[in-house]
């Protein structure tokens, strides 16, 4: 499958790595929206949150364990996690990813 984030997870497209294990890859966003902005993705292809199910949800739990661990290691105690799902919500890459944003005041509600 021709998928940008599968290619990044496989190392075929370069990225600035934050964290990696057998299930998950995390890397800095190419167009950061905050002083800290990285993405956490499962190495296996899942289209979006809408494609999460009983079979693959353990990897989503693992993504959140990684977010907790990595933010702690970075000394970040306040951050936002975002997953855009579908075109209207602003998803531009159809491979499940969690944005982790920190280092500035965040607005609510989001735009």
**67 C-beta neighbours (distance < 10 Å), count:** 19
Q: Looking up tokens 């966003």, which residue turns up? A: 29
Distance CA 103, CA 41 (A): 21
Structure tokens at 6: 């599968």
The entry of Zn ion, ligand 5GP, none near residue 31 (CB within 5 to 8 angstroms by kind) is ligand 5GP
| 23 touches 59 (CB < 8 A) | yes
Q: Which member of 45, 62, 95, 97 is catalytic?
A: 97
Which 19-58 positions form the footprint of ligand 5GP (CB under 6 A)? Answer: 27-31
6 touches Zn ion (CB under 5 A): yes
Q: Which of 55, 54, 66 is nearest to 97 (CA)?
A: 66
Q: Which residue, 27 or 79, is less far from ligand 5GP as judged by CB?
A: 27
Residue from 47, 49, 84, 103 in contact with ligand 5GP (CB under 6 A): 84
11 touches ligand 5GP (CB under 6 A): no
Q: Which residue, 6 or 66, is less far from Zn ion as judged by CB?
A: 6
Verify whether residue 97 is a known catalytic residue: yes
45 touches Zn ion (CB under 5 A): yes
Size of the site for Zn ion (CB under 5 A): 5
H or E element that contains 67: helix 57-74
Q: Active-site residue numbers?
A: 97
């Amino acid at each position: 499958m021709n998928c940008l984030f599968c290619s990044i997870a496989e190392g075929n497209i370069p990225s600035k790595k934050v964290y990696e294990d057998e299930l998950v890859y995390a890397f800095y966003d190419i167009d950061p929206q905050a002083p800290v902005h990285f993405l956490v993705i499962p190495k296996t292809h899942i289209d979006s949150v809408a494609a999460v199910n009983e079979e693959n949800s353990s990897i989503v739990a693992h993504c959140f364990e990684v977010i907790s661990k990595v933010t702690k290691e970075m000394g970040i105690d306040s951050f936002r996690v975002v997953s855009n799902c579908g075109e209207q919500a602003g998803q531009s890459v159809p491979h499940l990813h969690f944005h982790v944003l920190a280092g500035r005041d965040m607005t609510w509600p989001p735009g």
